[in-house]
Amino acid sequence: MSSCGNPNVEGDSLMPKRPKYDRSKACVKCKLNTGNIVIRHAVYCKECFFPLISIRFRRTLESHVNPTPQLHRRKGLKASGNLLVGFSGGLGSSVLLDLIYKTYLTPNERQEGDQNPNGGCPWPNVFVASVDISGALNAAPTSSNINFQQVVESYSSNFKCISLKLEDAFDLIWWKEIGGYESQTRGFDIVNEEILLRALSDDSSSPAEYLRTYISSLPTSTAVANGIQNLIRMLLLYTAASKRCSHLLLGTSLTSLSISLISSISQGGGYSVKEEAYEEWSYRKNQETINQSVRVIRPLRDLGTKECAFWAWWCRLKIVRKHRYLGGRQDIAALTRDFIVGLEKDYPSTVSAIARTCSKLTTKEDSDAKCLMCGRPVQAGIQDWKHKISIRSYSDVNTDDELPQHVRRPPEAPQSQDIRAFDAITSRLCYACHTTWTSKGIRGGTTKGTDIPAPVWVNAHPTNGELWTRKRLGVEEMHAAIADSLLDP
Amino acid sequence: MSLDVLSLKIEFGGGLELLFSNQRSHNVTIPSKVRRDDSTSLLPLEDGIETKPADITYLIHHLRDHLLKERSELFIENKTVRPGILVLVNDTDWELEGEGDYALRNGDEIVFISTLHGG
């Protein structure tokens, strides 16, 4: 019963609770069987549930498999590279792996209306990658990391396991193995407004120590959760690139997607809202002239966690990751999850509406610039806008000590400094990453780090010297720079 | 003939078993008539106490009081299961069976699946 008044005073104030399904208990598809599950007010029986999920999975994925959609209709499915599946061992990725196996690697179970008439797997190789985040939590590897390989191998020998560690993001050996650009160990100076990237004072630490310094330097629990997510995402993307993968599939369900959309927007990631659902990440390998790309697809984005959980239960899937990473109960992602999961219980269609509404959003103008940290688009002029809405003058304050860190005077670069030793990267960070590092913590302080290790991909600079650098020019250098434009006296 | 007690098979999935001695399957016996306020005291019902047939809402309270080992806030909220926990009654979504108001029958199989643990 739900309340519409004070039941202690008014006897009729309780009204019957409305059922969560629209018409009858009969399956809306076959109209014969009694239903077993309610999906956003529609009732389905168990027999109709499996093809329904399979079709929704294929419909979301298969339009993105071929390099161009036209090829799809003529020749069936044929990807231009391999496949990488991101596997956390949680509900979504376990269901994703099961669906990939049943749809593409067991031809006997293929359904009617299959859009891949040639059959077989569209990808020559299927890699399954798992990222061990225990290094960030300062803990021993969990049993789920050990079980991961067993679960993947229990499916098929066609799945090739790749085990990654979060600290690989700071490991030059790993970076070299996957064929990344030449890199070096450098760190951020967040105190400086320009966010300087320069040599670390101690470059002899292990990748695990670098990771712990990086995590502990993030100013808020929200930033920690976001920072770890970004590292995982980038590790998967660079691994996909190293394995010549054309597709990276993630087990993000409709519910998780709605959570990540709201969470990302509230952390300043509104400009890349499109990339939260679908992303085409381009890269160029060493000694190559053509850009390659990895399509990041979330084939479960039309399926809520309820459908995923029923699929996992009815198929008796083993969920090896039983603990969710606890970035804190009060960080934005955790609060958003609580809100969306609570909303889904009573208003399941509203959660679906979040993802569908966000899929219609687009930016006013495209951007070619990519963020050094997360690889997502950087909105043009975003720092200028940020300057306009910020307090920039503290004329009544005399000493730097009393100023917030983001408005203190940056240290001046030495005249003779090497161009690579002192790169200002603020303008090459997206709004969300910049905000992650410069936001105030719960006690009002920003991060005080001046020696924070940067992930290897931030340090890897293309050989054409693309990194923008600011340095103070002497009078003679300025004169030489404009010499051609000067009129002779 | 109505039974005094109901024998039920309870299963936990999706990580929820961690709260219940890390055991997925349990056999539970509950009274067929219970206090209307869902109190799970094992004392016999006295005259004048309002009763009702045992339903899932009562079962949730019973599991919390007699089977749960830790952190009840991860299982129960506002007299029902916490949002994100799915319930199946004899392999059917409990939303089709009246949710917490479903009157339990002897031999019923009730499954609780958490979608909050993994991810």
Structure tokens at B79: 């007299």
Q: Are A223 and A439 in contact (CB under 8 A)?
A: yes
Report the residue of chain B nearest A27, measured CA to CA. B96
Asked if B9 reaches chain A (Cβ–Cβ under 8 Å), the answer is no
Output the pLDDT for position A463.
40
pLDDT tens sequence for chain A (489 residues): 455 566 666 655 566 677 788 778 899 999 999 999 999 999 999 999 999 999 999 999 998 998 887 655 556 888 889 999 999 888 999 999 999 999 998 865 555 555 555 468 899 999 999 998 888 776 655 555 667 888 888 887 788 999 999 999 999 999 988 887 777 778 888 777 778 888 887 778 889 999 998 998 888 888 888 999 999 999 999 999 999 999 999 999 999 999 999 999 999 999 999 899 899 998 876 666 677 889 999 999 999 999 999 999 999 998 887 666 555 677 898 999 999 999 998 888 999 999 999 999 888 888 888 898 898 999 888 877 877 777 666 655 555 555 665 555 555 554 444 444 667 888 888 999 988 888 776 555 555 677 888 899 887 754 444 444 455 677 887 887 787 777 766
Output the pLDDT for position A89.
87
Q: Chains A and B: how many Cβ contacts under 8 Å?
A: 88
d(CA A202, CA A478): 35
CA A246 to chain centre: 17
Q: What is the pTM of this model?
A: 0.84
d(CA B100, CA A105): 41
Distances (CA, A) of B118 to A87, A150, A263, A312, A324: 11, 17, 18, 12, 5
Candidate from B83, B111, B118 with C-beta closest to A319: B118
Q: How does pLDDT run across B63-80, given as a tens digit for each residue? A: 999 999 888 888 999 889
* ipTM of the predicted assembly exceeds 0.90: yes
Structure tokens at A32: 């014969």
Cβ contacts (< 8 Å) between B95 and chain A: which residues? Answer: 19-21, 38
d(CA B92, CA A35): 8
Measure B97 CA to nearest chain A CA, in Å: 9
Output the pLDDT for position A448.
60
Cβ contacts (< 8 Å) between B93 and chain A: which residues? Answer: 35-38, 310
Asked if B100 reaches chain A (Cβ–Cβ under 8 Å), the answer is no
Say if the Cβ atoms of B13 and A313 lie within 8 Å. Answer: yes
Place of tokens 């010297």: A465
Measure A152 CA to nearest chain B CA, in Å: 17
